[in-house]
Structure 1
Amino acid sequence: MWPEIKAGIREVGILEMEIYLLENRLFMIVETSLDFDWDTAMNQLAKLPRQEEWENYMAIFQACAEGATSDEKWNMMQRIFYLYNS
């Protein structure tokens, strides 16, 4: 991962990030501030230096259209289950 990619992730307001791979799917967990806006952040991220190059590389691991940007590939999911220690 190039330094520009890490800097861009931070620049759009993502505090922590994990990405998991399962076959041709990537699953991402992010921690953000409470006022974080996903759509705005992904749109900004898509325009940052080297991001297009990074997205093209990551497309190797994803089932997506060629040239897809961050805001086209990453979508919010709804959590349907969690188990925490009480």
Structure 2
Amino acid sequence: MRHALALDLVDDPQRIAEYEKAHERIWPEVRDHLRAQGVLGMEIYRLGTRLFMVMEVDPAVYSVQAMAEASRDNPHIQRWETLMWTYQAPTPWTPEGEKWVEMKRIFDLSTQ
């Protein structure tokens, strides 16, 4: 199963460069956490300050709620998220208190 999510970055070239540098090699605890939650693959793309994430998950393992609970209870993930939030900003459409927001698929070539 594939998820597409969006988030913005703070509009500061130095902060954006730092964010990209942090993702050249993420912390092993973050990598292991994602895999343990059923994330099979993850890619993040950037255009200006807009981020786009594609996440492939194992639907037998992954759930948004389980991921949120496991993240909340993991001090490594909490440190990572706190650090990342210094670079990130909500999109204009992001509900209060949320970060990455699921995007609505509007086209799928395979259905044509």
Whether TM-score is above 0.5 comes out as yes
List runs of 5+ in structure 2 lacking aligned partners: 1-25, 91-96
Name the one with the larger strand percent: 2
Give the deviation of 1:18 after TM superposition. 0.6
In the TM superposition, residue 50 of structure 1 has moved relative to its aligned partner by 1.2
Confirm or deny: 8 A CA contact 2:38 2:59 kept in the other structure: no
Q: What is the one-letter code of the residue matched to 2:37? A: V
Match of 1:11 among 27, 31, 36: 36
The TM-score with structure 1 as length reference comes to 0.69
Q: Secondary structure at the match of 1:73?
A: coil
Which of 73, 83, 88 lines up with 1:57 in the alignment?
83
Identity %: 38
Alignment of 1:31-42 (within 5 A): 31-35=56-60, 36-42=62-68
Q: CA deviation at 1:83?
A: 3.8
- Runs (4+) off by over 6 Å: none
- Identify which of 72, 76, 82 aligns with 2:102: 76
- Report deviation, 1:25: 3.1
Number of aligned residue pairs? 79
